[in-house]
Amino acid sequence: MTHTPAVRAAVSSSVPLILHAHELEFQVVNRLSEAWIYKVLHRSSRIIACAQAVANFYSNTYAVPAEKITVLHGPVNLQRLVNNSPKAPAARSPLPDTVVLGVVANLYYLKGPDLLIEAMVKVLEAYGGSLKLCWLGAPKQDTPYLLAIRKLIQSKGLSDYIDIQPASSQTAAFYQNLDIFVLPSRTEAFPLVILEAMLFEKPVVAMDVGGIREVVDSKTGYLVKDRTPEGLARGIMHFVKDKKLRRQTGKNGRMRVLNNFEAEIQTPKWLEILENL
């Protein structure tokens, strides 16, 4: 939906147009004019939404007829992840009994790193064992927000517990070395990192925003309904002390992804839409 020459040319043409809608809320309204959004949406022959939450957003906010929208969740593939990660950064602590939490997300405000830091304070107060949090997704160069987050970590006395690593597309080893995957985002459409973590049998603790609730529930993780640091801490504590629960929840998540979101399942659905235009 971006306002580029190629998109403008496609919108002005007479060929059938398919829009893949994979963002909502702030990511849409803060980047594009209302007039352009309406024009692209109503010019499109078919809109593919990456989650039901995204479909609802465009239907309710921009009056797109529901029958014009098809929900196709984003696909993931375990083999691609593994092949793409020959030298992936690791998260595992040298201490064998350490519970390792991990995040894969660009580090900026909407991803909620400040919320997770506040939650970590509460988790460490309640948990007597060894704990480590690794965030994979920091910008390669210092930004004002990154510096502010580092300062917040230091002020909370968490420098020994939180490790911030640069963004990387090589994530397989990172996922493998986690015990719990956490996503504290303030807003999301349908984050594929959750599906990726589930493929590696990791329980997911995530905020109840956007399409996350379409894959995370009590069988595959913990959905933070109140979207607060306190709720996030409760979700983490739900798994920290129970290794058996982590394993079973991780297995449930993997099966859900393989049965519903794997690329081999999703690809024929895309082809069917293209063939029926």
pLDDT tens digit string along 3-51? Answer: 778 888 888 888 888 889 888 877 777 777 888 888 989 889 899 999 9
Q: Do residue 41 and residue 155 come from a single domain?
A: no
The whole-angstrom separation of Cα 187 and Cα 191 is: 10
Kind of pairing between the strands at 131-138 and 46-49: unpaired
Q: Is 265 among the domain residues?
A: no
Confidence of residue 212 (pLDDT cuts 50, 70, 90): very high
Q: Do residue 93 and residue 36 come from a single domain?
A: no
Q: How far is CA 225 from the centre of its chain?
A: 16
Percent of the chain whose pLDDT exceeds 90: 65
pLDDT of residue 95: 62
Q: Is 277 among the domain residues?
A: no
pLDDT of residue 86: 54
Q: Do residue 58 and residue 90 come from a single domain?
A: no
Q: Is 148 among the domain residues?
A: yes
Q: Do residue 125 and residue 31 come from a single domain?
A: no
Full strand arrangement of the beta sheet holding 99-104: 162-166, 131-138, 99-104, 180-183, 204-207, 221-224
Whose CA is closest to 21, among 81, 61, 80? 61
Averaged pLDDT, 111-119: 98
Q: What is the CATH number of the domain that holds 142?
A: 3.40.50.2000
Q: Do residue 44 and residue 88 come from a single domain?
A: no
Q: By three-state DSSP, how is residue 164 classified?
A: strand
pLDDT of residue 24: 82
Could you list the residue range(s) of the whole structural domain that residue 51 is in?
Answer: 5-71
User: Among 75-79, 104-108, 200-204, 230-234, whose mean pLDDT is lowest?
Assistant: 75-79
Q: Do residue 87 and residue 188 come from a single domain?
A: yes
Select the highest-mean-pLDDT range: 40-44, 119-123, 262-266, 271-275: 119-123
Domains contained in the chain, number: 2
Q: Do residue 145 and residue 16 come from a single domain?
A: no
Q: Do residue 154 and residue 135 come from a single domain?
A: yes
pLDDT tens digit string along 216-229? Answer: 999 999 999 999 99
Q: Do residue 198 and residue 220 come from a single domain?
A: yes
Task: Answer with the one of 46, 71, 96 that is the final residue of a domain.
Answer: 71
pLDDT tens digit string along 44-103? Answer: 989 999 999 999 999 999 999 999 999 999 888 878 777 765 554 555 555 678 999 999
